[in-house]
Structure 1
Amino acid sequence: MKYIETEINDVKIIEPQVFGDERGFFMETFRVDEFNKSCVERHFVQENHSKSAHGILRGLHYQLKQTQGKLVRVTSGEVYDVAVDMRKSSPTYGQHVGVILSAENKRQLWVPEGFAHGFYVMSESAEFVYKCTDYYAPEHEVSLLWNDPELKINWPLVEGISPSLSAKDKVGLLFADAPSF
């Protein structure tokens, strides 16, 4: 696997080596020894799998307690995936990384603890799988407003069509009002 640096030092793109022929392909999606050496030492406790239709935007979410690092990938379709640094002591506080993840490019993104995370479905539908370093704790979850003008996230939206949001994401907090770490 290849570990690719991003604009934010702690966020990594992970590109697997894919072995394929006319029968299909094989790839390793995770190796704890390589991840610990090339990224950061973490123990994953939960894995989630979601399916979303085109135009769905999920996020930007983070937990104030039981903070979650997430190793995310797409097994079907294509998404624009975003990680926002919510660590006040970080030199990249308030900055974000945006990456296209797809079943075709097979890339993964490591989103460390202390980051808000979300994605927008660019294909007809997408299946999204992610490992977490701590358990989901809805009582500690914060939703950051996906289109906060201060963050300047350039979501690849279809012109003239608003993304489909959950009730909690419609009332997400502005970055200036959101609690940080």
Structure 2
Amino acid sequence: MLAEADNGAELAASMAELKAYLRIESDGEDAVLAGLLRSAAALCEQFVGQWLIRRGARETVPADGRWHRLAARPVVAIGAVAAVDDAGAVTPLPVEAYAIDIDASGDGWVRAVRPGNRLAVEYQAGMATDLNGVAEPLRQGIMRLAAEHFVARGDEGAAPPAVVSALWRPWRRMRLS
């Protein structure tokens, strides 16, 4: 189970950039453009397999004594770790009851020292605090995809431009199951 916060507010700073790219001077299309920016950023996150904007997550993993990788990445901080019993009651654990690690590729890891039911882990993941801190090729791909969707409104057969995946591909992280 993974919960995450909405990252729409952090994308608002890029509205002016998208409007300039599309040569739009009025505010009449702002709601549409904001939705397209959020959608393009979400598609970028799915493509690269990483969260762009830093936000909090809560995940539950087995407390079986083995290391478990957290779902979101790149993990920047692991906060609270708690035990979850069969009834769903959550009890904070002392530091000596679990182990945590963040590896060089940004994967977060957690394990219970003593096996139990489940662990609830709260952590932060994301590349930057806002879209302006994300690598320029990722930002450029988001802008181009949002612009392409704006221009192609009503054309259901429109395909995203190949340049977008070319801009995003160097940041793509895939996991083998």
TM-score, normalising length: structure 1: 0.28
Which has the larger strand fraction? Answer: 1
TM-score, normalising length: structure 2: 0.28
Higher Cα Rg, which structure = 2
